[in-house]
């Protein structure tokens, strides 16, 4: 018996190590391109024109970052991205929370039908509506405005679904206890239930932020004025041809610069992101 147990433990330990080794190998595969991009950003464009392998050899330079700081519109684009991503995230959180509370807690005619209609939104790809949306925003004169960049992302069927499920999971006894505690319906939502959904809010907020930050298509379609470029559109605009070889270091420096805010977000909310990806938050 003891031998069996021992061999089982050894087997498990071996399996764990195998998984760990595979994870490390995968992590290296994922990290190398990023390190390569950082390396390229630390070389002059002239050197890289001759040989990109020079990344591995000194000298390294911060000239590309200096050029960004003094010469490019990247700060403006960064600001735009921050405004659009933050605004969209806040909008999604507010709307999804209110809608989720409504679907989970309020009785009203057609509730289930409306909820199903919202869920249908999950199945409609952006490509299917982008022409109509473009026309609509054109008519409303919303192109090249922050509202124009943010509004489409605020209709978030997944957010509504997530928050509805989360509110449903909170026992109604909590609402009832608060009713007996003389709390108004809004107070029950605001002071009692909403704080209990913080894990879901964090998950939804982070994913919305990352999605908005990385979004390329709609900002490119709607924000055609250079002053309204987001980072993704702005950086892409500095690339002259598809297989660009000139200005590679500068391009990579911009890419690194653009990813810094996302990295910072990730560092602060790592716990919630991991939990969300593993499904524990829902």
Partner 1 sequence: MPGIELKNVTKTFGAATVIDNVSLSIRPHEFMVFLGPSGCGKSTLLRMIAGLESVDAGEIWIGDRRVDQLAPGERRVAMVFQHYALYPHMSVRENMSFGLRNVRLPDAEIEKRVDAAAKMLEITHLLDRKPGQISGGQRQRVAIGRAIVKEPHLFLFDEPLSNLDAALRVRTRLEIAQLHQRVDAAMIFVTHDQIEAMTLAHRIVVMNNRKIEQIGTPMEIYSRPATTFVASFVGTPAMNFSPVELSDGPNGFVSARLPDGAIVATRIDKASLPASQSFKLGIRAESLDICPAGQGETVGVAQFVERLGDRTLVYVKLADGATIVAEDAGNSRVAINDQVGVKFDGSEAHLFDDQDRGHHAVLDGSAT
- The residues that touch partner 1, with contacts defined as CB under 8 A, are 171, 173-174, 176-183, 187, 191-192, 195-196, 198
As a whole number of angstroms, the distance between CA 123 and CA 40 comes to 40
Helix (H, G, I), strand (E, B) or coil at 246: coil
Write down the least CB distance from residue 244 to partner 1, Å.
51
CB 206 within 8 A of CB 273: yes
Write down the least CB distance from residue 9 to partner 1, Å.
33
When the beta carbons of 31 and 174 are compared against partner 1, the nearer one is 174
Determine if residue 61 is left, alpha or beta; phi over 0 gives left, psi from -120 to 50 gives alpha, anything else beta. beta
When the beta carbons of 121 and 199 are compared against partner 1, the nearer one is 199
Write down the least CB distance from residue 184 to partner 1, Å.
8
When the beta carbons of 184 and 245 are compared against partner 1, the nearer one is 184
For 39, the token pair is 């390396």
The dihedrals phi and psi of 145, each to the nearest 5 degrees, come to -130, 160
When the beta carbons of 33 and 195 are compared against partner 1, the nearer one is 195
Long-range pairs of 215-220 with CB within 8 A, sequence gap ≥ 24: 215/153, 217/126, 217/130, 218/126, 218/130, 218/149, 218/152, 218/153, 219/84, 219/149
When the beta carbons of 22 and 177 are compared against partner 1, the nearer one is 177
Write down the least CB distance from residue 218 to partner 1, Å.
36
Write down the least CB distance from residue 187 to partner 1, Å.
7
């Amino acid at each position: 018996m003891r031998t069996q147990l021992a061999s089982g433990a050894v087997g498990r330990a071996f399996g764990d190590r195998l998984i760990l080794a595979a994870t490390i190998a995968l992590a290296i595969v994922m990290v190398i391109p990023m390190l390569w991009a950082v390396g390229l950003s630390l070389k002059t464009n002239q050197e890289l024109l001759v040989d990109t392998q020079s990344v591995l050899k000194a000298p390294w330079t911060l000239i590309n970052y200096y050029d960004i700081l003094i010469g490019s519109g990247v700060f403006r684009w960064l600001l735009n991205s921050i405004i659009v991503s933050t605004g969209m995230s806040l909008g999604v959180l507010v709307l999804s929370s209110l809608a989720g509370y409504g679907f989970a807690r309020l009785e009203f005619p057609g509730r289930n039908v409306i909820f199903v209609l919202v869920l249908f939104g999950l199945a409609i790809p952006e490509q299917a509506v982008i022409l109509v949306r473009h026309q609509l925003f054109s008519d409303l004169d919303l192109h090249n405005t922050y509202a124009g960049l943010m509004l489409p992302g605020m209709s978030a069927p997944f957010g509504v679904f997530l928050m509805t499920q989360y509110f449903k999971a909170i026992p109604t006894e909590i609402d009832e206890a608060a009713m007996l505690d003389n709390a108004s319906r809004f107070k029950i939502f605001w002071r009692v239930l909403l704080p209990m959904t913080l894990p879901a809010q964090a998950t939804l907020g982070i994913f919305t932020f990352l999605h908005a930050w990385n979004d390329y298509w709609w900002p490119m379609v709607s924000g055609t004025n250079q002053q309204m470029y987001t980072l993704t559109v702005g950086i892409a605009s500095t690339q002259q041809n598809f297989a660009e070889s000139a200005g590679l270091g500068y391009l990579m420096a911009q890419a690194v610069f653009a990813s810094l805010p996302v990295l910072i977000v990730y560092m602060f909310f790592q716990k919630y992101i991991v939990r969300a990806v593993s499904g524990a938050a829902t």
